[in-house]
Structures are given as structure tokens and as C-alpha cells.
Amino acid sequence: MKKILFLTLFSTVFASSFGQYSYFMKARILKTDSSTITGFVKKTSESSLNYGVKFINSTTDNDIREFSITDIDQLIFLDDSTVFEQVKYENYKLTNNTVKINEYRLAKKIVIGYADLYKLQLPENEWNIVFEHKNTFVYILKIDTNYYVLDQKEKLEGSDYRLFKNYIGVLRYILKDYPKLTSNIQNLKFNDKQIIPLIEKLNNEHSDISSKVLITKETPIIYHGPTISYAKLNNFINIEGSGYSLGYKASIILPEVNRHISSDIGFLMEQIFYTDLKNNKYNKLYFKVPIGLTYTFNNSKIAPFLSFAISPYFSNEFSEFFFGGSAGLTFYKKYLLSFSIDNKVSSEETDLKVHFDQILLLNIGYRFGTNKIKMNK
């Protein structure tokens, strides 16, 4: 337990020293006073941009400036040309339908034309998820100077939750003069693949105004690569041993949701050499499948991270669950060095020859990965 507390405290303090300039990306801001500035804007998720941005002139700049939503007319991330604009958001909070929201937000622009379409990723405290994972965002449609919110909500009626597709009614009103576009609107699903083509068709009815689909989605970031570890048995009843593991791990990040957090899975072979109470020596081969989450503090050349995972251990003799944590560093986004502790979920000993309580590991890894932007042409 002391080792776990020390690992957590050390990694938190150490990581905080690297986290100040996390996920700043090159961007241009068009301010509401018509001036323009170029520098780097912090983007850990799309929802983090709802109310404003943190800005630095360069990656070596120590002066972080904050611009509120009232300061920003348009924000463009230069690496992928993603456009965010100030939009009017009028709605009721998804978590409390008695509180009305009437404010401006910064939303991603995905269609431009007679009707401009925006996608607004909501802050987590405004999510309304019971069974529909799509309730983390709303669409906002702008026609002339009017804004319309397209959303769906889950509401409790009696003892059951029902899904209310509010966007259907709003679209019926907007498209009342376009009967061809409303013929099958009742079956319209709340996703980019169906909403965007419908707005494109609406824009095509106004050919005098140029229409274009912008970037629709930043695809998941996938990292994967080999790892090797030195393992040391710890806190056993007079059992000493060590070993190594070899394997492959993969991680996936959803950048629209949160760039700090990845979901992880791996498959590793672990060879353990140990001596039991009777001084008998053993050489055992195990397999484990760690499944967990990693929080990476920044995207700099040296990036500290914390990981937590549950790992099924199995062999031809037994199978057990371990839970554990890791603290480490990623160098140049490719090389990983970390220290891990795996603890057995149950401390009951049924066979001292094969059952372990805690394993300490020193890990070295390499990862491949890409982060591509999906664009509609």
C-alpha cells in the first residue's frame, strides 16, 4: 500500500511540472473587434472551447491569455482547418429542463451556405445520457440571423425513460416550404451522416449562395506497439522471484471528447522465475490482458502519464484478476518508460507455488500511431 501511495504522489507532483502547456495547437482568432491574432490555443476537447479559449503567442511563451466567448467571432485551427464560430445557444439544460440556457457558445462549423450547420459538443455537466450515447452534443442551424437548436433528450415518464427527438419538430418547421425534404424526415437519425446531407439539400435549393461541407469529424487517434518489462515479485510469504514480459499494447483516443484520456488494451506473455517455501525453483509462463485507461498530461516532447488497468492473468494452472497502476513518460510521442504495480484482487492463498500477491514492473515500449482528419469533399 505504501508503494502505491508513493507512486501516486510522486507521479502527480512530477506530472504537474510538465502539464502547463498541454495540447496547445496553432490557431488564428478573428476577434469581435475585427482584429486577428495568430498563436496557439489550448484544445483538450471540443467541449473545452464552449465559453472561450486559452492563448499563447508561442510554445515558449509563459504568458497565457484568456479570451471569453464575447471576444471571439471565429477560431481556426491551422493544422486541420477546423473552424469554430460564436453561435447563439438557446435551450433547456438536459439535466434540468426547468433551467433555460440563453447564451453564446463556440461551436464547430461543419456546413456553410444558405443554412450554416454547427456541432456543439456540450460540457459534461450538460450531458443527458441514460441509454443514448449521442446526447453529448447538439446541432445548431443558422439561417440569416436566426439560430435553431437541433437536439434529442431522454426524459422520465412514469417509471420509464423516453427519447424525445426534438430535432424532428424543429426541422419540420424550418423545412415547411420544402415538401420534398420532409417526406421521410420522421426516420431521420441524429448523426452527421443523416443531418449533414439534409442541410446540403436545403442549401442546394438556394444555388445563388455557395454551399460547402467543411471538416466533419476528427478521427480517433490510435497508438499501438511492442512493450517489454522486467518483473519483480513483492510481498509474498517467503517467496522470491523475478521475470520478464513481452507483448503488444494498443490505445485509442477520441479527440472530440478528450485528448488527455485513452482507452487501452494489451496482450502480454509473462515469464516468472521464483522459489517457494521449500526452496523449490519454478519457471512459470503466464499470459495477461490488461484493460484500462491512461491520462496523459500534455503532448510535449516529454509527456508524463498515469494508467490504471484490470489484468486477467491466466495459464494452464490458474486464472486470476489483478488490478494496478502505472506512472511513466512518453518521449517524442514514440518511446515509453514506466513503472507499474499489479495487485491481486483477492489475497487468499490456495497454492503458494502459483499464486502471487503483487508484481512490480519496469516497462519500456515503443508506439506507432496516426491522427488523421476525415474530410468530406
- Is it the case that residue 217 has pLDDT exceeding 80? no
Rounded Cα distance between 293 and 272, Å, is: 26
- Report the CATH number of the 20-80 domain: 2.30.30.100
Alpha-helical regions (H) of the chain:
2-16, 166-174, 192-204
In whole angstroms, give the CA distance from residue 257 to residue 44.
8
120 vs 106: CA distance, rounded Å: 8
Q: Answer whether 265's CB lies under 8 Å from 257's CB.
A: no
Distance CA 122, CA 46 (A): 8
CA–CA dist 87, 97 (Å, integer): 21
Q: What is the pLDDT of residue 13?
A: 47
**275-304 tens-digit pLDDT:** 766 777 878 888 999 999 999 998 888 999
Query: Would you state the pLDDT for residue 6?
Result: 47
User: CB neighbours of 121 closer than 8 A, spacing ≥ 6?
Assistant: 45, 46, 47, 50, 108, 136, 137, 256, 257
* Residue 336 pLDDT > 60: yes
CA–CA separation, 138 and 133 (whole Å): 12
Q: For 100, list phi and psi in degrees, rounded to 5.
A: -90, 140
- 155-158 long-range contacts, CB within 8 A, separation 24+: 155/97
Q: Which of 25-29, 40-44, 232-236 has the lowest mean pLDDT?
A: 232-236
**Model confidence at 334: pLDDT above 80:** yes
117 pLDDT exceeds 60? yes
What is the rounded distance in angstroms from the CA atom of residue 346 to the CA atom of residue 72? 54
Q: Please say if the pLDDT value at position 63 is more than 60.
A: yes
pLDDT given at position 351: 47
User: Span 59-88, mean pLDDT?
Assistant: 92
pTM: 0.72
**Which pLDDT score is estimated for 274?**
78
In percent, the amount of the chain with pLDDT more than 90 equals 52
Q: Using an 8 Å Cβ cutoff, are 37 and 29 in contact?
A: yes
How high does pLDDT run on average in the chain? 84
d(CA 190, CA 138): 9
User: Given a cut of 90, is residue 145 above it in pLDDT?
Assistant: yes
Sequence ranges of the chain with CATH classification 2.40.160.20: 219-373
> 55: Cβ–Cβ under 8 A, 6 or more apart, which residues?
27, 29, 37, 39, 40, 41, 42, 64, 65, 66, 67
Q: Which of the residue ranges 241-250, 308-317, 347-356 has the most confident prediction, judged by mean pLDDT?
A: 241-250
| 376 pLDDT more than 70 | no
Q: How confident is the model at residue 358 (pLDDT cuts 50, 70, 90)?
A: confident
The fraction of the chain above a pLDDT of 70, given in percent, is 81
- Placement of cell 515479485 in the chain: 233
pLDDT number for residue 93: 62
**pLDDT score, position 189:** 93
Of the pLDDT bands very low, low, confident and very high (cuts 50, 70, 90), residue 140 is very high
Higher-confidence position of 344 and 221:
221
pLDDT in tens, 226-241: 999 999 887 555 567 8
Stretch 24-37: mean pLDDT, rounded? 95
Lowest mean pLDDT among 97-101, 212-216, 257-261, 285-289: 97-101
Residue 61 buriedness (CB in 10 A; 0-12 / 13-18 / 19+): middle
List beta partners, residue 200.
Answer: none
Q: How confident is the model over 243-266, as pLDDT tens digits?
A: 999 999 999 998 878 889 999 999
Exposure of 194 in the CB half-sphere (CA atoms within 13 A)? 14
> Is it the case that residue 201 has pLDDT exceeding 70?
yes
Average pLDDT of the segment spanning 133-155: 89
Sign of torsion, CA 16 18 23 24? positive
Mean pLDDT of the 145-154 span: 91
Range(s) within the chain of domains with CATH label 2.30.30.100: 20-80
Pull the grid cell for residue 9: 504522489
- At residue 60 the predicted structure's pLDDT band, cuts being 50, 70 and 90, is confident
Work out whether strand 153-157 and strand 160-164 pair parallel, antiparallel, or are unpaired.
antiparallel
Q: Per-residue pLDDT tens for 31-41?
A: 999 999 999 99
Q: What is the DSSP letter of 49?
A: G
Intra-chain end-to-end CA distance of the chain, in Å: 55
Whether 319 shows a pLDDT value over 80: the answer reads no
Fold observed for domain 219-373 = Porin (2.40.160)
Question: For the ranges 120-129, 264-273, 311-320, 352-361, which has the lowest average pLDDT?
Answer: 352-361
Rounded CA separation 325/9 (Å) = 12
Taking the CA of residue 297 as centre, how many other CA atoms within 13 Å lie in the half-sphere pointing to its CB? 22
**DSSP-assigned states of every residue in 284-326:** EEEEE--EEEEEE---SSEEEEEEEEEEEEE-SS-EEEEEEEE
Q: For residues 165 and 3, what is the distance between their CA atoms, to the nearest angstrom? A: 51
CA atoms within 13 A on the CB side of 290: 29
Q: DSSP assignment of 23-36, as one string?
A: TEEEEEEEETTS-E
